[in-house]
Chain A
Amino acid sequence: MIIHVLLFAVVTLGVGAVNLSLSEPLERSFGREFANYAVVVGGGIVAFTALVMVLAAVFL
């Protein structure tokens, strides 16, 4: 499961990097925009994984 989550994070960050680079002009620098995106996406992945694990522990 850890590998699945890491692979999902890799492909999501890759999609974000390409989309950010193609959607210029950006309000901030590419690095800042990507850092912001990575924090949001990473937080979402962590939160969603935690939710899935809690639900699995409760119901399985």
Chain B
Amino acid sequence: MAKQITAAPAAAKPSAMLWVDALLGWLLPGAGHLSRGFRRQGWIALFVIVPIFSLGLVLSDFEAVSRDLHPYAFWAELGFAGATLPLLKIDPAANKVLPDHQSITNPVPGWDVQSRGWDLDVSSWSDTGVLFCCVAGLLNLLALFDLLDRSLSPRRAVRTGQATPAGNSA
């Protein structure tokens, strides 16, 4: 009796819309999943990753995203591009210490800041804030990989019981 050989399901070809959805997910966590119909994953990513990143920004006094102050952490934070890229452009941290300012302890030329009693040191929660932003960025990268995997792998689509999104049928 001849063995019945079943071929493994072929991987779906990525459509242009998949890359658009991946870009959406890169800019806003969960947006790619929501756009492709993976609702629960999308909402959870949105309501977990965005608050973690926001909390990190608040804890670090909005200094978590900076290529000057955190050159390595920046690449992890870049997993959430929708927040990281605008903040990189604004760069509140670098604005405090670099252009037009003498130093972090004397940011405005001519002002005797220390005698005014201002505390211009780095936030005491800065490290924790940077960690939160890094975790949020890396989680969003994980969500992006999951989006691509769900959309391209027919086995994953069968296992999760969800139809392969339109345009990516195996």
Chain A interface residues (CB < 8 Å from chain B): 4, 7, 10-11, 14-15, 17-19, 21-22, 24-25, 30
Contacts and interface: CB of A to CB of B under 8 A. Distances in A.
5 contacts: A4-B128, A10-B52, A18-B139, A18-B142, A24-B41
Given A10-B55, A25-B160, A15 B139 contact: yes
Contacts of A22: 41, 142-143, 146
Contacts of B160: 24-25
Interface string B117-136: 00000000000100110010
Query: Which one of A18, A19, A24, A30 has the greatest number of beta carbons of chain B within 10 Å?
Result: A18
Contact of A14 (B52, B59, B146): B52
Nearest to B131: A11
B49 interface: yes
B159 interface: yes
Contact of A18 (B48, B55, B128): B48
B161 interface: yes
Contacts of A15: 135, 139
B143 A18 contact: yes
Nearest to B51: A14
A22 B41 CA distance: 6
B50 to A, nearest CB: 10
A17 B139 CA distance: 11
Given A18-B48, A18-B143, A25-B159, 7 more contacts: A14-B52, A14-B139, A18-B49, A18-B139, A22-B146, A24-B41, A25-B161
